[in-house]
A and B are shown apart, each in its own frame.
Chain A
Amino acid sequence: MEGLTLSDAEQKYYSDLFSYCDIESTKKVVVNGRVLELFRAAQLPNDVVLQIMELCGATRLGYFGRSQFYIALKLVAVAQSGFPLRVESINTVKDLPLPRFVASKNEQEARHATSYSSDSENQGSYSGVIPPPPGRGQVKKGSVSHDTVQPRTSADQQEPTSPVVSPQQSPPTSPHTWRKHNRHSSGGNNERSLAGPGPFWSPFGEAQSGSSAGDAVWSGHSPPPPQENWVSFADTPPTSTLLTMHPASVQDQTTVRTVASATTANEIRRQSSSYDDPWKITDEQRQYYVNQFKTIQPDLNGFIPGSAAKEFFTKSKLPILELSHIWELSDFDKDGALTLDEFCAAFHLVVARKNGYDLPEKLPESLMPKLIDLEDSADVGDQPGEVGYSGSPAEAPPSKSPSMPSLNQTWPELNQSSEDTAIVHPVPIRMTPSKIHMQEMELKRTGSDHTNPTSPLLVKSSDLSEENKINSSVKFASGNTVDGYSSSDSFTSDPEQIGSNVTRQRSHSGTSPDNTAPPPPPPRPQPSHSRSSSLDMNRSFTVTTGQQQAGVVAQPPAVPPRPQPSQAPGPTVHRPVDADGLMTHTSTSPQQIPEQPNFADFSQFEVFAASNVNEEQDDEAEKHSEVLPVEKASDPASSLRVAKTDSKIEEKTAASVPANVSKGTTPLAPPPKPVRRRLKSEDELRPDVDEHTQKTGVLAAVLASQPSIPRSIGKDKKAIQASIRRNKETNTVLARLNSELQQQLKDVLEERISLEVQLEQLRPFSHL
């Protein structure tokens, strides 16, 4: 290629561009991608760009060496000026403005352009900032009005050697040249071990951010402290040698290379600093945010619910989409509520946005909340993504470390606490949304319950509500209302379960009163018993069906039928028969009495089974049909067995509640439960039990995994994030379970209602 003569300004500019494109810091070859971007930014037609590339020889060589790059840039300038592209035009065109590149990528160039034009101020600032620009030989070209630049003589000497062509550097370019020279000269200074530089430069000399410094400087108004720029400056030792822009000059390449490497480093640093600095919350701001927080939530350790926060931030009149994004960034633990730290971060982001700052994609480090008091929230579901994002960006990755230790410390605690809370309270952990959802479901159920005509149900709902409160889980009061003892059952069962699966608790609350059998564990052992007992019971039932029924009072309609898919037909068959017998034997109370104890035993099992089975909705349908005959039979019996059957009746019924109530007996909760269980055949129990076991097994597995998670104190962030994910999954599993149980409860209640209605209808007949 023919020699390329460039003006000083052009030299500097080109070297900057070269460094910009030289992201690999090869200092010899420019990355093609970047070059192409640059050319595209030049807003030239594609064919022109291709032509340029051909002319400069890049296509021939296959890469963009420094010389090719410079030639290309020159040609771009030529093309932009409207001159035809010719090889000769490289050197012949005079007064060629610097090539202009428009694009976000080329902000540097744009900035350069602007900075070039903005000259003096920057210069002054630079000169002031750069303490001893000493080595910066001023561009001799005239622009040397930089008095601040002192010992530039050496640099100047170099400059004259450069084939700078025209002194036409327009005034605006003089600053550029000055800057360029600064850059270059700084490099040169280092090389020459200028006396001036002093302490500043020596350290910088090591850094290789010359070009970046230059770029940073040119960007000029960027907040980053000028020190960084200095660093880059310092590093451009070879830049001074750049003065001769001969394409083949190795010196140029070296300088450019250093410049390039420096540029990237500086840019990154600059960006990071610009990110960090704007996002830091000053003390005044923090105090203001805290005050605002107090107005919404007096307790500084408490949360601001999402709705309140929404109203508050809507007042800022930012678009909803941006507020939504701010929320995503600031709600670190994704709990739908803001802690003090989260609130401050959100507020800060809002303030920044209003001032024109763009929202970051990830939460800046300085805004990340300290997960210190997350134990309360048990929101272990911190967003790993957030943390990961904040850690990943090139911006100040090391600065993450300060926040990480706190995170690591708090997360294990959280995990532990959440684990405990998870065990104790089925639903507590999380997530407001799930809570809200559960609450909504609960409300729905209570509403549906209220619609039930049966008063006992309503009464029981109150009991159940108490129970629910105790359990602090979303229990469907409606479902539990059936029997008073059912609530008591659940009470007793709850403590048992606390150590065990949540589902059990739920099952207790969710199952109908009849089914409020003890937690699954108890039922399990019983099934074996109940089986044997159920067999006996069958016999006894046949004998004492009437009695049973009397005592049981329509073994809670829902309970018996459901639990016994197979056995139900049997007993029901018996029962109806017995019922008839009962009719005749109403007077045989004494006979019934002795049988009752048997019932008691069996009924317990049945009840147990029934309760367990009730959970299975499939059986319910069958049960319904079966229950009807049972109810009929039980009606007369119930009338007979007032006293003794009371206890049994109580348990068994949801439908029998009225009867029980009338009898005035509310036997102990434990007896009723077993009675019910007994009623249900073991088979019924087993399916329930199996289901329970499955569910509980799942939950146990999930919960079991949790303990191991919290132990990861001090482990990787990844491990914590994984644990968070697991907890989230657990939550969803639990939520699912809850919904299932609720559904079952609903069904059971419906059955009971229907059975009670039938009971009512049948009563008159029985009296006949």
Chain B
Amino acid sequence: MVHTSLDVVDEKISTMGKALVDQRELYLGLLYPTEDYKVYGYVTNSKVKFVMVVDSSNTALRDNEIRSMFRKLHNSYTDVMCNPFYNPGDRIQSRAFDSMVTSMMIQVC
């Protein structure tokens, strides 16, 4: 399901030429009949895509929350990138990054 959402993200990027970095796409449309979840996409300047899948059973998160989460995610990601030992494309093994992500998720749930 994440792969399908990636396709959607790519499609969105190709269509909208100007505002390359749309902070968030509330792609609520990706709601399958059986699996109720929402997929949020976020693209950075460097074409790095963040996809967030949220279970719909959770009281629908507000758009602002999603956006702030993406912003935090972006910040942490740039911090991880700062590390010269990190090769882009590798699995992120930064503990700080992981802790930030888990804290974010816990805070929401």
Cross-chain pair count, CB within 8 angstroms:
82
B101 surroundings in chain A (CB, below 8 A):
none
Tell whether, in the assembled complex, residue A433 and residue B86 are in contact, meaning their CB atoms are under 8 Å apart: no
- A324-B46 in contact given A434-B78, A739-B20, A743-B20 (Cβ < 8 Å): no
User: Please, how many angstroms separate the alpha-carbon atoms of A320 and B82 in the complex?
Assistant: 15
* CB < 8 Å neighbour of B85 from A320, A433, A437: A320
Q: Cβ of A324 and Cβ of B94 under 8 Å apart?
A: yes
Residues of chain A with a CB closer than 8 A to B79's CB: 328, 334, 383
> Smallest CB–CB gap between A473 and chain B, Å?
15
User: Interface size on A (CB < 8 Å)?
Assistant: 39
A431 at the interface (CB under 8 A from B): yes
Is the beta-carbon distance between B21 and A740 smaller than 8 angstroms?
A: yes
- Complex Cα–Cα for A181 and B75 (A): 56
Complex: A328 Cα to B95 Cα, angstroms: 9
**What does the 1/0 interface line of A294-305 toward B look like (CB < 8 Å)?**
000000000000
Residue in A306, A325, A735, A744 whose beta carbon sits within 8 Å of that of B45 in the complex: A735
Asked if A616 is at the interface of the complex by the 8 Å CB criterion, the answer is: yes
Q: What's the minimum C-beta distance from A717 to chain B, rounded to whole angstroms?
A: 17
Task: List the A side residues contacting B71 at CB < 8 Å.
Answer: 729, 732
Q: 1/0 per position for B4-48, CB-CB distance to A under 8 A? A: 000000000000011111000000000000000000000011100
A379 nearest CB neighbor, chain B only: B82
Interface status of A759 (Cβ within 8 A of chain B): no
Q: Chain A interface secondary structure, helix, strand, loop or mixed?
A: helix
Q: Is A725 an interface residue (CB 8 A)?
A: yes
- Expressed in whole angstroms, the Cα–Cα distance for A739 and B48 within the complex equals 14
B100 within 8 A of A: yes
Report if A431-B93 is in contact (Cβ < 8 Å); known contacts: A309-B84, A437-B45: no
- Nearest residue (CB) in A for B82 is A336
B82 touches A334 (CB 8 A): yes
- In the complex, which residues of chain A have a beta carbon less than 8 angstroms from the beta carbon of B84? 306-307, 309-310, 327, 336
Asked if B81 CB lies within 8 Å of chain A CBs, one says yes
What residue in chain A is nearest B68 (Cβ atoms)? A729
B96 within 8 A of A: yes
Partner of A331 from B45, B82, B95 at Cβ < 8 Å: B82
The answer to whether A617 touches B85 (Cβ under 8 A) is no
Q: Which of B20, B21, B78, B85 contacts A324 (CB 8 A)?
A: B85
- The verdict on B83 contacting chain A, using a C-beta distance below 8 Å, is yes
Chain A residues in 8 Å Cβ range of B100: 385
Q: Does A159 contact B (CB under 8 A)?
A: no
Indicate whether A94 reaches chain B with its CB closer than 8 angstroms. Answer: no
Judge if A618 is at the interface, Cβ distance under 8 Å. yes
User: Would A327 and B83 count as touching, CB distance under 8 A?
Assistant: yes
Decide: A321 near B95, CB < 8 A? Known: A434-B78, A736-B21, A740-B20.
no
What mask results when residues 4 to 37 of chain A are scored 1 for a CB within 8 Å of chain B, else 0? 0000000000000000000000000000000000
User: How many angstroms from the CA of A180 to the CA of B86 in the assembled complex?
Assistant: 51
Taking CB atoms, residues of chain B closer than 8 Å to A729 are 71, 75
* Given A334-B79, A385-B100, residue A736 in contact with residue B20 (CB < 8 A): yes
B83 CB, nearest partner CB in chain A, Å = 5
Question: Would A617 and B17 count as touching, CB distance under 8 A?
Answer: yes
With a cutoff of 8 Å between Cβ atoms, the chain A residues found around residue B45 in the complex are 437, 732, 735-736, 738-739
B-side interface mostly: loop
- A494 in the interface (beta carbon within 8 A): no
Is A156 positioned at the interface, with any CB of B under 8 Å from its CB?
no
Question: Smallest CB-CB separation from B80: which chain A residue?
Answer: A328
Q: In the complex where A325-B95, A437-B46, A729-B71 touch, is A431 in contact with B21 (Cβ < 8 A)?
A: no
A739 & B21 in contact (Cβ 8 Å cutoff): yes
What residues of chain B lie closer than 8 Å to A437, measured between beta carbons?
45-46
Within 8 Å by CB of B83, from A331, A740, A747, lies A331
The closest CB in chain B to the CB of A728 belongs to B75
Provide the residues of chain A in CB contact with B94, threshold 8 Å.
324-325, 328
Query: A335 an interface residue at 8 Å Cβ cutoff?
Result: yes
What residues of chain B lie closer than 8 Å to A735, measured between beta carbons? Answer: 45
From the candidates B20, B82, B93, name the one contacting A335 in the complex (CB within 8 A): B82
Given contacts A306-B82, A331-B82, A740 and B96 within 8 Å (CB-CB): no
B18 x A744 contact (CB < 8 A)? yes
Q: How far is the CB of A730 from chain B (nearest CB, A)?
A: 11
Q: With the chains together, A617 CA to B85 CA distance in Å?
A: 38
* A361: Cβ under 8 A from any B Cβ: yes
Q: How far is the CA of A352 from the CA of B19 in the complex (A)?
A: 48
Q: What's the Cα separation between A432 and B82 when bound, in Å?
A: 8
A255 to chain B, nearest CB (A): 40
User: In the complex, are the beta carbons of A740 and B18 less than 8 A apart?
Assistant: yes
Residue A642 at the chain B interface, CB threshold 8 Å:
no
- A73 is an interface residue with CB less than 8 A from chain B: no
A340 on interface, CB distance cutoff 8 Å: no
* Shortest Cβ distance from residue A388 to the other chain B in the assembled complex, whole angstroms: 11
Q: Are B19 and A740 closer than 8 Å at their CB atoms?
A: yes
* Interface assignment of A323: CB less than 8 Å from any CB of chain B: yes
* Cβ-closest chain A residue relative to B18: A617
Closest beta carbon of chain B to A734's beta carbon, Å = 10
B83-A324 in contact (CB<8A): yes
- Chain A residues 731-758 with CB under 8 Å of chain B are 732, 735-736, 738-740, 743-744, 747
Instruction: Please determine whether A616 and B18 come into contact, CB atoms closer than 8 angstroms.
Output: yes
Minimum distance in angstroms from A345 CB to a CB of chain B: 15
Contacts of B93 in A (CB 8 A): 321, 324
A321 — which chain B residues lie within 8 A by C-beta?
A: 93
Q: A327-B83, A327-B84, A735-B45 are in contact. List 18 more A-B contacts (CB 8 A).
A: A306-B83, A307-B84, A320-B85, A324-B83, A324-B93, A328-B96, A334-B78, A334-B79, A386-B96, A431-B78, A431-B82, A433-B78, A617-B17, A618-B18, A728-B78, A729-B71, A732-B74, A743-B18
A-B contact pairs, 18 of them (CB 8 A): A306-B83, A306-B84, A307-B84, A309-B84, A321-B93, A324-B83, A324-B85, A324-B93, A327-B83, A328-B94, A328-B95, A433-B82, A434-B78, A617-B17, A732-B45, A732-B71, A740-B19, A743-B18
Q: Which are the 6 A-B pairs with shortest beta-carbon distances?
A: A306-B84, A736-B21, A310-B84, A324-B85, A336-B82, A617-B18
- B interface list, Cβ under 8 A from A: 17-21, 44-46, 71, 74-75, 78-79, 81-86, 93-96, 100
Residues of A within 8 A of B (CB): 306-307, 309-310, 320-321, 323-325, 327-328, 331, 334-336, 361, 383, 385-386, 431-434, 437, 616-618, 725, 728-729, 732, 735-736, 738-740, 743-744, 747
